[in-house]
Structure 1
Amino acid sequence: MLHIPTIHKFKLSFMATKPQRICHLAETALQVAKRARFMCSTTPTEAEAKAATNMKEAFAQYAQYLNDLNEKRERVVKASRDITMNSKKVIFQVHRISKQNKEEVLGKAEKDLAQVTALHVSRLVKELHGTDFWKLRRAYSPGVQEYVEAATLCHFCKTGTLLNLDELNAVLLPLSDSSVEPLQINVLDYILGLADLTGELMRLAIGRISDGELDFAEMICKFVREIYRKLTLLAPEMDDSYDMKTKMETMLQSVMKIENACFSVHVRGSEYIPLMGSEDGSFSLLTVPDLE
């Protein structure tokens, strides 16, 4: 601890310093402080500069990735719309089927479906080459579902059986480059397409009943009922799919419409005999004699 006389001497010596000297010292200290603050704030280290450059490049690459992805999504949506529109034309073609023109109509429908595959589905496959195509599923799912519907409808009308997922994906394999992961229709889109198929089969069955092809309508009824039964077992496992819940309700309505139409023919079969062009007074449906 300083003695009082020593402190007194220090005060006197400080007071004796010239004012000009004090001002000079203060200005020098202020300049040094400003220079230090300026160097700390505006002169980054080499590591900091490199990190900032890398961050800027990464951000630019990510922004370019998002732009490319959005552009690709627009092209995928366009391809999906073309698939939907042309697949509907195939379905409309199949609805023209009758006893007299079955071979002709199915042949034309199969050619149209092959053209949809070669022109529009192949374009979708090329757009999705080399990408995580599951990220764009929402963009192309409607077109794929419509394509599944058209393909399974043609196959059923020709063979009376269901075109399974493996057979359908086998058609798409030649469209893909062998060096990349091929685009394959996933299970969900296939099942949703089958749900739509039942609606088209319901319309086809009603039309065939009107034309007197009751055996064909009954075959459709059994087929649609079996699809509904199998999907009823599967639907609880897909409780997160709102589309599936909605389509299951529509599918049940289609089953009921076909069953009611076939049942009406059972009960009032004699009213349908003129439609069949038969002059025989006895008519049987499903090996059950007609009601008198």
Structure 2
Amino acid sequence: MFNTTGFHKAALMASKPKPQLLHTIAETAVQSSVKRARILSTQSSMKDAFAKYAEYLNNLNDKRERVVKASRDITMNSKKVIFQVHRISKQNKEEVLEKAEKDLGHVATWHISRLVKELQGTDFWKLRRAYSPGVQEYVEAATLCKFCKTGTLLSLDEINAGLLPLSDPSLEPLQISNLDYLLGLADLTGELMRLAIGRISDGELEYAEKICRFVRDIYRELTLLVPHMDDTSDMKMKMDTMLQSLMKIENACFSVHVRGSEYMPLLGSNDPGSFLSGVPDIEL
């Protein structure tokens, strides 16, 4: 005969969970809820981080566009200063240099100041490629004016000291880097070559020879320095151009010395202001 009492007792024991099993189920449920909470929290923080980074990139791109615009304005107005300096002669030297220095001051006040405001308080090395062309052109114009006025080289410290008043004293000032200064100095030699050729045409051979010595000194010093620089791709190309400019000046000065008699009918060896003054006439 089937024992129903034992069957019911076994069924009740099977349906009633053991204390250890209840503890395991509860612990698993708590762990799963904590894991879901952590996943949701991590996803939210990652989403916020990506949103902030996207906003940073958008602001950086907008800033880069403004910096590029300021750099173009600096380049354009610095070129105007360089063109003015090429009008220099014995008669108008002071007048031309005074106007050029005044316009160069306006470049710093109106255009470089915009660049300084954009780059203050930021890591301006990230945007160097955006403003480097304008800075190089400004260095070229400033050093050309200084050479024409005093016959000396405008140093990097002097340029940065002139830009210091444009910066907020509470923030890190924008300073022209050594590389941008040297790149601008390399471009200067091309303008000095044009200036020397123009001075020879006007009969100022001594001034052209002075320019030749100055360019030769720059080229010699940079030849020793460039091999030790890290970023030299741009500098090496400009060194080749610099050598060509130096050779053009030397050839022009040499040609005048060797073939100076051919210029006598044009310039007049008896003219006290002529660079051929004192040279005896050739009898035909």
- Using the size of structure 2 for normalisation, the TM-score is 0.83
Is the aligned partner of 1:150 residue 2:141? Answer: yes
Q: Is the 8 A contact 1:195 1:251 kept in 2?
A: yes
* 1:54-73 equivalence runs, <5 A: 54-73=45-64
Is the aligned partner of 1:49 residue 2:43? Answer: no
Task: Calculate percent identity across the aligned residue pairs.
Answer: 74
Is the aligned partner of 1:88 residue 2:55? Answer: no
Cα RMSD after superposing both structures: 2.6
In structure 2, relative to structure 1, the CA distance for the partners of 1:290 and 1:116 (3 Å cut) is farther
Q: For residue 54 of structure 1, report the CA deviation from its aligned partner.
A: 1.2
Q: Is the 8 A contact 1:76 1:139 kept in 2?
A: yes
In structure 1, how many angstroms separate the alpha carbons of the residues matched to 2:245 and 2:138? Answer: 20
Instruction: Give the structure 1 partner of residue 214 of structure 2.
Output: 223
Instruction: Give the structure 2 partner of residue 170 of structure 1.
Output: 161
Q: Is the 8 A contact 2:143 2:188 kept in 1?
A: yes
In structure 2, how many angstroms separate the alpha carbons of the residues matched to 1:247 and 1:199? Answer: 10
Instruction: Give the structure 1 partner of residue 201 of structure 2.
Output: 210
Q: Is the 8 A contact 2:81 2:100 kept in 1?
A: yes
Instruction: Give the structure 1 partner of residue 234 of structure 2.
Output: 243
Q: For residue 45 of structure 1, report the CA deviation from its aligned partner.
A: 2.9
The one-letter amino acid of 2:163's match is L
Q: Is the 8 A contact 1:84 1:143 kept in 2?
A: yes
Is the aligned partner of 1:131 residue 2:131? Answer: no
The one-letter amino acid of 1:111's match is K
1:259-287 superposed Cα distances (whole Å, 9 cap, x missing partner): 00000111122333455565259x767x9
1:139-177 superposed Cα distances (whole Å, 9 cap, x missing partner): 000000000000000000000000000001001100001
Q: Is the 8 A contact 2:187 2:238 kept in 1?
A: yes
Is the aligned partner of 1:181 residue 2:172? Answer: yes
Q: For residue 52 of structure 1, report the CA deviation from its aligned partner.
A: 1.7
In structure 2, how many angstroms separate the alpha carbons of the residues matched to 1:276 and 1:161? Answer: 30
The one-letter amino acid of 2:141's match is A
Q: For residue 199 of structure 1, report the CA deviation from its aligned partner.
A: 0.1
Which has more radius of gyration?
Answer: 1
The one-letter amino acid of 2:102's match is K
In structure 2, how many angstroms separate the alpha carbons of the residues matched to 1:290 and 1:156? Answer: 33
In structure 2, relative to structure 1, the CA distance for the partners of 1:98 and 1:62 (3 Å cut) is same
Instruction: Give the structure 1 partner of residue 18 of structure 2.
Output: none
In structure 2, relative to structure 1, the CA distance for the partners of 1:198 and 1:290 (3 Å cut) is farther
In structure 2, relative to structure 1, the CA distance for the partners of 1:288 and 1:195 (3 Å cut) is farther
The one-letter amino acid of 2:180's match is D
1:208-249 superposed Cα distances (whole Å, 9 cap, x missing partner): 100111111111000000000000001111364211111000
Instruction: Give the structure 1 partner of residue 88 of structure 2.
Output: 97
Q: Is the 8 A contact 1:201 1:224 kept in 2?
A: yes
1:100-142 superposed Cα distances (whole Å, 9 cap, x missing partner): 1111111110011000000000100001011100110000000
> Which of 264, 272, 275 does residue 255 from structure 2 map onto?
264
Unaligned runs of 5+ in 1: 1-12, 14-35
Instruction: Give the structure 1 partner of residue 104 of structure 2.
Output: 113
In structure 2, relative to structure 1, the CA distance for the partners of 1:191 and 1:274 (3 Å cut) is farther
The one-letter amino acid of 1:128's match is L
In structure 1, how many angstroms separate the alpha carbons of the residues matched to 2:266 and 2:44? Answer: 81
